[in-house]
Amino acid sequence: MGPLQGLKIIEMAGIGPGPFCGMILADLGAEVIRVDRASAAGTGSRQEPANRGKKSIAVDLKSEDGVEIVLKLIEKADAVFEGFRPGVMERLGLGPDVCQNRNERIVYGRMTGWGQTGPLANAAGHDINYISLTGALAAIGRNDSSPVPPLNLIGDFGGGGMLLALGIVSALLETKNSGKGQVIDAAMTDGSSLLMTMMYSMHQSGFWNLERQSNLLDGAAHFYDTYECKDGKFISIGSIEPQFYELLCEKADLSKDDFGDQMKRDTWAYKKELIQKVFLNKTRDEWCELMEGSDVCFAPVLDMSEAPKHPHNVARKTFIELEGVTQPAPAPRFNRTENEVLLPPAIAGEHSKEILESLLGLDSNECERLLSSGSVV
């Protein structure tokens, strides 16, 4: 069992970064109970990795009995989290004040794009909008094209779901000392700004230009970029340190006349043209034979069908198969409290009766009343 074994966490069902946060906490050993809306009962898929390791209860949040069931769950929980727009939980009768009146130790996580406060707090948005506001999106892409969305990894997942999981665990640690819970405001604008810390530091120190593809780590340097190979596939090179760059030159047979003065920026564009021609002479697999596992700082660029089959990922069991779906394994790894996925992805409402009886301790008559009334499905 993972290091969070013994903790009970309520996840108010949502999309994207919310389920991802719950997955992380479940992977780490917490008992995560997902509260789905009654209208969603029976829906869902066993093939949805973000819902692995959780139990589900489907509740009519518009009924008094339904809201009361959620409050009873919160009485027995260590944390609850939601990803709705500001004010939605309050209108449901499940805001932080109400929940903390029922359980003063409850940690209450709130995740939104813009945050709970500020001029944009109530506006709609998506990852691409949140990272636009932080300087992150403007910095990503080639200098001859518009900024390139880095999937929705930065705002939704790195600066959202992952940050909220860290916030919840941090608040739970503090509760051990204070005996009191608190509210977490996890904004994706804050989180994606935080992920840009090094770039802001480099910019203010004069080592990062605002123009895309003009810096050490954004594709300007010939020794830190991706290159096409003879077979149309790609490799990545990250030979920043002098000794690694020297090895790159040796293995790729790059002449010192053309590739000397590694850090001379006004030669980078010319050197990129030359090195691309070199890499087009061999296939990706041939370059792997020459460089993979060496100190060149090299890797093949793999797609999602290739990555799970790479020998390194296979050796480390970086991917698992659950319900016929290949997916990333729980991470990070612990040497004593090993992570494991204990349950397949839940169908909405799959565990409703079990949760009413086993966790809340309701008798059979009360369970039947709630289920027959539709307050719980």
User: How many whole angstroms separate alpha carbon 344 and alpha carbon 47?
Assistant: 8
Tokens of residue 375, six digits: 């307050």
Strands (DSSP E) along 229-376, which ranges? 234-238, 298-300, 319-322, 325-328
Residues 172, 78 contacting (CB under 8 angstroms): yes
Residue with tokens 């995560």: 32
At residue 222, φ and ψ (nearest 5 deg) are: -70, -20
Residue 98 backbone class (left: φ over 0; alpha: ψ -120 to 50; beta: rest): alpha
Question: Who contacts 354 (Cβ-Cβ below 8 Å, separation ≥6)?
Answer: 55
Enumerate the active-site residues.
126, 156
Cβ(318)–Cβ(324) below 8 Å: no
Assigned token pair, 239: 């030979």
Give the contacts of 204 (CB within 8 A, at least 6 positions apart). none
Q: Are 226 and 301 in contact (CB under 8 A)?
A: yes
The Cα 251–Cα 156 span in angstroms is 39
> CA-to-CA distance for 103 and 143, rounded, in angstroms?
53
CA gap 44, 294 in Å, rounded: 45
Q: Which tokens go with 290?
A: 């020459």
User: Got the DSSP string for 288-322?
Assistant: HHHHTTSTT-EEE---TTTGGGSHHHHHHT-EEEE
Q: Which residues contact 257 (CB under 8 A, 6 or more apart)?
A: none
Question: How many other CB atoms are there within 10 angstroms of residue 102's CB atom?
Answer: 17
